[in-house]
Structure formats: C-alpha cells, structure tokens
Structure 1
Amino acid sequence: MKTPPNDGRSIKSDETLFTIIESLKQTNGAGVTELGDRLDLAKSTVHKHLVSLEHNDYVVNEGGQYRLGLQFFSTGIHVRNQYDVYHAAKERIDKLAFDIDEAVWLIVHENGMGVFVYGVAHNNSFTFDSTIGTRVNLHANSAGKAILAHLPENEVVDIIDHHGLPAQTENSITDRETLFDELEVIRDRGYAMNFQEDLQGLHAISTPVINDGRPVAGVTIAGAANRLTEARIETDLTEPLLEAVNDIELRLVYG
C-alpha cells in the first residue's frame, strides 16, 4: 500500500476509505471488527465507510461480511475503454498470441507504474484474469523498460525518485546507472528483454507502442524461461512482435 502524501493534500477520511478498500481486496472480504483490528481503526469509523460504499454498490454485505462489489469492475472497464491503445491493440494481440503460441500482454504506463490492461494466454501458461489490472514496477519488467527507454530522461529520474528500484528477484536491476545503460541499449536495439527480473522462471520480450512521439504502452511476449530462450527470442519472436506493434501504431494514427 502506498504511503499517503505528507504535504497537506491528503484528506484523512479519504485515506481511511482507500485503506479499507485495499484491505478488503487483500482479504477477499471481512467483517467490521476484523477490519477495525487489522487497520487499527474504530469499528464505528469502519462501519460508516462500509455503509457509504455499500450504498454506492462498491461493496456487498453478506451477513456482516463485506466484500468488494462489481461496481469496481464496471469502473475498471470504463477506464480501460478510455485508452485508444487498448482498442488499437486488442485484435492484433490476439493474432500474435495465436501465431506464436505464447502469452502476449498489453501494458500501459500510469503514474510511474506499469498496468496490465489486456492479455491472451494462448497456451494456458498464465491465468490471465488474475493478471489484468496488476501494477508492476517499470524497471523490472520488459514492457516497463521499453517504455522507460523512450521517455525523457527527467521523467525517468522522477519515476525512480518516487518508486525506487526495488528488487523483485535477484536478477532485478537495482542500480540507477545500470538501468540507464540498459535503456540506451533498448533504444538502439528496438526492444527490451527480461530474464527472470520480475518473476523467477519467466522470460519476456517487449517493444513500446509509440504515438505522437511518446510511448503509450508496451506489448510483451512472455513465457517459461526454458521455452523463451534468448536464442528463440532473437530468431523467432522479435520480428513478429515488431510487426504487430507497427500495425498497432498505424491503427492509432489511421483508426
């Protein structure tokens, strides 16, 4: 959970509300007393927020156990539909996944993090429903690195200053200079690779979707490390990925 800002902009009641929502997400549902104990909040405070959330269909009360409601799903779908790149990429990602028999993902950049907004796990390597909506650090993800490589340097510095370079695995880049060196290689090469940097046993390749000179997303091919070897990535997957992203970029421009 994010640390709330301490510059006076944060409203305590709002922070409490979001803390309750995140806790319900983590626990898959809880009662008033459990939430109060877990979050060190008065039961009356928790109850007031839950009543408000229930009134607006954001939580469901099942015999005193509260869980998140499908209103969040409706809101999430609405947000995703606002991204032109989602509509431009969806059909092409489906085709790419079918052609190469691997999982393909669309990841967008939001507030210095990467967010999985669409994916096709054609060979059942992933449970894609549990991945959609996941937020990841950009520096330890192939799509994230592809996006960072095409952002202005001052924006990359701001992202690092805000989110840091936490290690996801022992292979994650945690040094700023090393990251900038790799971003330069990615710009020259045209794609980013991830060899078990965010998840053990996973390899991936990604290239950015550029629109009006800015990276609006990254398209990633991901799979088990023993299948997506560096040799296979470079000989069999690079060209199909670059062709797919080129088509997506054309669709963004010409609709």
Structure 2
Amino acid sequence: MDNKVKSVKKTFDIINTVQALDGASLTTLSQQMGMPKSTAHNYLKSLEEAEYLVNDGGTYRVGIRFLEHGAYARNRMKIHEIAKPEIDKLAADTGELANLLVEEHGLGSYLHRARGDDAVQVEAHVGTRVYLHSTGLGKAILANLPAERRDEILDERGLPERTPQTTTNRYELLDELEEIRERGFAFDDEERLKGLRCVAAPIHSNSDRVIGAISISGPTNRLRGERYREELPNKLLEAMNVIELNITHS
C-alpha cells in the first residue's frame, strides 16, 4: 500500500474514531490513533478546512456535510423512494416503529424509519449500521441471499452477541434462515435490543434478487401473542407485496 493510499485510509480511520468517541480533542485522538500530535493536528485541520469536521472549543466533531453525501446515496436508491410511503403507512396503522434496511458491505443500514403514535425510542437512526444476524431485518435479507454471498458475510462479520438472545451458533442460524425462507418473514425476539421485538420481511427486485427488508418493531409487552405471530406479519406481507409490485412496474 503506497503512502497516498495509506493517507486516505488514515483519514477515514480518524473520521470513524471521532464519530465513535462522539467528539475528540487533539490529545485524545493522538492517543487513540497512536500518532504524533503534529500529524494528528494536520489531519484534523485539513478535515476542518474541508468542512467534514467542526472544532467545538477544542473538541472535533463530525460535521453535517456528511449528511449531504448520505442523503444523496439514500435517495438514489430506488427502494427508498418506493418503500417510504408503505413504511409510513405501517407506522401509522400499527402505532409502532416501521423500518427499511438494506445490506451493504455485509452490514445492514437503515434507510428510513417511521414512528407511529406509540412507537418506542430506540438507539438506531437512519444511517445506523447493524449486524445482519442480530436483527429481524438482517435475517430476512440473509435468508434470501445466494448461499455464497451469505457465507461470505458470515465469514467476514462473524456472529457477535448483542444480547443473551442473539444467535451466535452458525448452524442454528442457518436452520433459522431456512425457516424464514419457507415462512416468508423473520422474527427478532430481543436479539439486538433487550425488551424489543420485531417482525421483518424481505423485499425482492423484479429479477427476484433481495434488495432490502421492512419491519415493524415494538416493546415485548405489545408485540406478543396473535398480534406478534399473525396480525403484524400479515400487515407486513401486504406492504411487501405493494412495494414489490411498484418496483416491478416503476
């Protein structure tokens, strides 16, 4: 790897570190990155001048210019434009949190979230990336990917535990993915966040390639029994059908 490529990689490592720390001073960043203060200062000042970082009284933070790039990337994806009205409708009809997720680089990224009147506040937001195996959305995608691509993702990303309910055994996960394929939708029973359940369904393109997933999420005290196992899955499958039809004929 030549010096120019190393410099580009280091730039993004710094951005990711500043975000992970929710802001960092020059000293903190220098220590975290294991680089001299003078080098860290040069990177930080260059990123500030390019308007990708802001200096908040000596604490560097990620700037909102990244929002421009994120919004562009999201809006150029056909699935976002077509699925958004149905996600909003699911949230309004159920009162819960409705979501749209796509896979990129072996992780799931939220493209759209809509909150119903009773929706709970959770940590994820648009742009948040999650491990696929620990969410209903991600499992719905994994279950419908070609086996070779699915195995690549599991090999690269592993099966880290998010809660005691997360499936971390590969063979158990593969059995569950087979059930999801046959059933047509996935459940997430407190596997990413304790106290939260989710029902998710895949979205396919007109060439039958899985391009994302939609879900309804809510607290365990509301997502239970027939509502969790039948009512919400049926609503989700109806929305999935509408989205896929619109994708086919758009």
Alpha-carbon distance change, 70 to 129 in structure 1, aligned in 2, over 3 angstroms: farther
Q: 1:5 is matched with which residue?
A: none
TM-score (norm 1): 0.91
SS at match of 1:116: strand
Partner of residue 119 from structure 1, selected from 113, 121, 135: 113
Q: How does 1:1-255 map to 2 (within 5 A)?
A: 8=1, 11-123=5-117, 125-127=119-121, 130-211=124-205, 212-255=207-250
CA RMSD of aligned residues (A): 1.8
The offset of 1:130, in angstroms, is: 4.9
Deviates most, 228-237 or 157-166? 228-237
* Displacement after TM superposition at 1:164 (Å): 0.6
Contact 2:92 2:115 in 1 (8 A): no
Q: Provide the C-alpha distance between the structure 2 equivalents of 1:172 and 1:9, rounded to a whole number of angstroms.
A: 40
Letter in 1 for 2:26: V
Determine the C-alpha separation between the residues in 1 that align with 2:123 and 2:156: 29
Q: In structure 2, what is the Cα distance between the partners aligned to 1:224 and 1:231?
A: 15
- Contact between 2:92 and 2:116, CA under 8 Å: does it hold in 1? yes
Identity percentage over the alignment? Answer: 39
Q: 40-49 or 186-195: which moved more?
A: 40-49
Task: Classify 1:217/1:164 alpha carbon distance in 2 versus 1 (closer, same or farther; 3 Å).
Answer: same
Separation in 2, partners of 1:9, 1:216: 35
Q: Structure 1, residues 17-52: CA drift from partner, whole Å, max 9, x if none?
A: 122112221233222222112322111111111122
> Which whole-Å CA distance do the structure 1 matches of 2:118 and 2:53 have between them?
31
Question: Greater CA deviation, 205-214 or 18-27?
Answer: 18-27
User: Hey, what's the Cα distance between the residues in 1 that align with 2:219 and 2:100?
Assistant: 18
Following the alignment from structure 1 to structure 2, what is the Cα–Cα distance between the partners of residues 253 and 137? 29
Post-superposition offset of 1:250: 1.3
Structure 1 gap segments, 5+ residues each: 1-7
